[in-house]
Amino acid sequence: MNFLAYGVAGWICIVGLYGAIVSKNLIHLALCLTVIQSSTYVLLLSVGYRHHGTAPIYKGIRLGTNTVDPIVQSLALTDIVISVTVIALILALALDVHKKLGTADPDEVVELQG
């Protein structure tokens, strides 16, 4: 159990990368990126976990109570917003490609090469 959470993070990252490499559709590709991104949430949150720790909100608990790390939570929050916005941009690009080309297959978008 000691390293399961970290292993999960690594696994999600690798699976997401595989999906992105063989993706047949730009929207699918964008979702694969969110999969990779979620590996970073799992990593950050599991890194800051402490056994029997509660949420770091001092309403109803005394100062000095064993809590999980608040920093990684705020990093994950920032991370979520960043991810959502980047994905929104990529989806907008995917829509434009589809409008132009009639397909969102990344292997067919080969206007520039060589």
Partner 1 sequence: MTWLLPLPVAIPLLAAALVAAGDHVTPRIVQNAIAVLAPAAATGFSFWIMLETQHGLLIHWYGGWHPIGNLAIGIGFVGDSLGAGMAVLSCTLVTLALVYSLTYMRESSRLFDVLMLVFCGAMAGFSLTGDLFNMFVWFELMGVAAYALAGFKVEELGPLQGAVNFAITNTAGAYLILMGIGLLYARTGALNFAQIGHFLATHPSDRLVVVAFTLVLIGFLVKAAIVPFHWWLADAHAAAPAPVCVLFSGAMVELGLFAIARIYWTVFSGGLHAHQGDVRSLLVWIGVVTALVGAVMCFLQRHLKRLLAFSTIAHSGTMLVGIGLLGAKGLAGTANLILSHGFLKAGLFLAAGIVLLRLRDIDELRLHGAGRNLRWERALWFAAAIGLIGFPYVGVFVGHSLVDEEASGQGFAWVPPLLLVAEAVSAGAILRAGARVFLGWGPKRDPLLSWEPEESPPERSASVPLLLAVTTVTVAIGLVMSVIPGLQVRIENGAERFVDRSAYAARVLHAKSTPAPPHLPFAIEVAKPESWAYGIGAAVLAFAFAAAGLWYRRLPELVLGGIVRGLGPPVRALRAAHSGIIGDYLLWLTIGATVVGGAWAFSLR
Partner 2 sequence: MTRRQIRGTIAIPVLGALGAFLYWGLSGLPPFGNYHGFYGHMVSILSLPQRHVTNAVTATVFDYRGFDTMGEEFILFAAVTGVVLLLRKSGEDEEGPPEDTVTSDALRLFGLLALAGGVLVGLWLAAYGLVTPGGGFQGGVAIASGFVLLYLTGSYLAFARRTSESALDPLEAVGAAGYVVVGLAALIAGLPFLANLLGPGKPGTLVSGGSLGFINWAVALEVAAANTILYKEFLEQYIVPIARGRKS
Binding site for partner 1 (CB under 8 A): 9, 13, 17, 20-23, 26, 29, 33, 36-37, 39-40, 43-44, 47, 71-72, 75, 78-79, 82, 85-86, 89-90, 93-94, 96-97, 100-101, 106-107, 109-114
Dist CA 6 CA 11 (whole Å): 9
Contacting residues for 20 by C-beta, under 8 A, at least 6 apart = 29, 32, 33, 36
Phi then psi dihedrals of residue 52, to 5 deg: 60, 15
Contacting residues for 110 by C-beta, under 8 A, at least 6 apart = none
Alpha carbon of residue 92 to chain centroid:
18
Q: Are 30 and 91 in contact (CB under 8 A)?
A: yes
Among 27, 31, 36, 47, binds partner 2 (CB under 8 A): 47
The answer to the question of residue 14 lying near partner 2 (CB under 8 A) is yes
The answer to the question of residue 81 lying near partner 2 (CB under 8 A) is yes
The site for partner 2 (CB under 8 A) is made up of 1-7, 9-11, 13-14, 17-18, 21-22, 24, 43, 46-51, 55-59, 63-64, 67, 69-74, 77-78, 81-82, 85-86, 88-89, 91-93, 95-96, 107
